[in-house]
Structure 1
Amino acid sequence: MLFLDLRWVIFVLLLATISIVSLTVRLARWRRRERRASPLTPEGVHTVLERASFGWLMLDGPRSYRYANPYARRLLGLTSPDGLLPEAAWVPLLEEDRGAARQEMGAMGRYRRVSLPSDRVVRWWVTPWNEMDIVVVMEATAQHRAEQAASYLFSALSHELRTPIGTILTHLEILLLPDVSEEIRQQSLHLLQTETRRMARLINQMLELGRLETSVEIERRPVDLLALVEQAIAQSAPQAEGREIDLSLHAQTLLPLVVGQEGRLLQVFLNLLDNGIKYSRPGDRVIVSLGRVEEGVECIVRDTGPGIPAEHLPHVTRRFYRAVPRKIEGSGLGLTLVEEILRRHQSRLELQSRTVGEETGTRVRFVLSILPEEVRA
């Protein structure tokens, strides 16, 4: 019996030993995993900062830094993870904020928006930490441009709306007169309709331009340019017929697909056709030509109208610029919008015009990129 009891005791002790060893091994593995996974260790914090989508700068002395993560180095033009700050215009501003943040120890740090020489705009936040100063940096270029575009949009819009609003108010007052004649009444109603349309067109084009300028990029897909131009001509045909303008399309067969945003490219052709029709004389022609060139697909919209005087030609893509009398309806934004859309398609607007001689008229040219061979395959 004693022998059996000893065997049981040995068995229990052996089982307990195995359990303890197994538990110890598992605990050691768990601790190793935790150390590797935990971002709270110095190594973990460094890894997080190296991959962060914001700038982290640790300043340890006048114009010197102990650590700058890749985002901060790229944004501020720093060449190494530690060292001296460059001789740049933004550095004195940063030093000023460091001093102010230390004087306001109870505050939440110092914020500032700064323009860099690289045409970038950054926002930083500076706060003391022991003997060092921590700077968190974020790029704010897109936000700054959006704010500028919005400010310009409202400023320009308010300026341009003064004339039509003044005209509308004047003719509304005329219509309220008790003894206004039917002829004057009809004239006032016609002017009200014209100015209201002008306002609507102006507002829509300004909003379109604002959206384009504040968007980061446009979605580009394969586009059948020939079908798109045929659609634009079909939409413009009633306007051309009303003004006795001949619309035509000359295109090479088997044109490759271009890369772009279909809706925006349709806007380009509609605006160019609208200009060609509006500023041409009865009996003139507006011709769209499409052809393959080395750079892509060449697009030409030309008319046989009176042309644009040479002194106006360099300015016609400026906002609200009108090279012709304002009696012709328009917002002065059509070519501005066209130029911006083409710029977003990595293309450039080329303008030529003749006002004298037998062949007068305006010629607009641009080239659109084609779909790469590997994508077409």
Structure 2
Amino acid sequence: MNRFFKFTIPALFLILVVLLSYGLIYNQFNNTLKSNYGYEILNFGGAGGSSSSQCGLVPSSISKTISSNEPWYCPINEEIFNDWQTYLPIAVIVLLIGLFVDIIIFGIGVALKNDRVRNIGVGELYETFASAIIIFLFLYICAVTFGLIPGVYVGNINPYATAFHLMLTTSNSVEKLYTGLFHTYAMDKFITSIEIKFYGSNLGDLDLNTYGQYIYGVAYTPLEIGFIEPASFIMSMLIDGTAILYSEYYLLVFFSVSAIPVFIIPGVIFRIIPPTRGLGGMMIALGIAFYLVFPTLFAAVYYFSSSSFLTQISVATLQAEQINSQGIASAKGFSSTSPAAENLSSIQSSMSSFWLLVLFYPALIIAVSYAFVQTIAQFISGSTYSSRRIRGFV
């Protein structure tokens, strides 16, 4: 067994170095042909080689099917491919340096017959292989999740587009509801700000508590309590919920743009280097969690809850418009049984679904993403301990 590993592991790494070197030479040669002569050795994007028809490394026969079923997928895949094409030389150079150092450590351990040094070299070789496996696994999961398989067999599934659609549709619906409530609220708030005072010394038996404060005390106090204060509370909830929703939206936009070039690729580079392996594992885990888990869970929330919520918010908007259409009539004879109060009570009951959608579900999604980051980071960064146990068999 020891003789087998002594010969096969260096041979495998030598083959890997040759393949990576060939890939770099091939990529450079292909880019040179494309820039100088407008010709590529292999064109996976379809006829003509236009960037609009490219789909990364997906073969043209499959990319045509995907483009017809899911037009959004190929631009995403092409963007991922371009990001990796941009940063691949840096990652490969660091990988080759890491492999070179690991092989030297392993060779020194074998030459000196020092099992401790040899085991360190073998463990670092395992870690380098693990970094490469992590990247291929991540790209495979991206392909499966973002449409390579759904684009061919299922149909239109796009977690990012679905999550963005959920957020924008919710914010637009909330804006209409807020506008409908605000017009009536502003008018009634102005009416209740009017105060009538009686001045004089010869009013006789006139009860000022009854007549002097009649409009404010009898007619307007139910309006203040029954409509203005609840409407103000609902509008405050809508403003706070919309602010939270936009924060989640821009968080998703940030990670959709920066997850691969800022977190994944530098994380792989840092993971190859032994002193920064923990940092690299954390960056990879953050990138994977917020690039895959975060939008996918938002898409699941959309599929399960958006239809009922949008129906409720549409009904609430119609009720707010009905209150607004009554105008000043809503302030006359206002009571707990008036139509405006009933409509407002129905709008207030729909706020539970709104807060579930903009606060509870996103908080749950962030908690799941955080747990995923912790688990994956420990698995990726803690694979050193597993490699130490594996070294005992070498």
TM over 0.5: no
Question: Is the strand fraction higher in 1 or 2?
Answer: 1
- TM-score, length-scaled by structure 1: 0.33
Structure number with greater CO (CA < 8 Å, separation at least 6) is 2
Question: Is the helix fraction higher in 1 or 2?
Answer: 2
- Structure showing greater Rg: 1
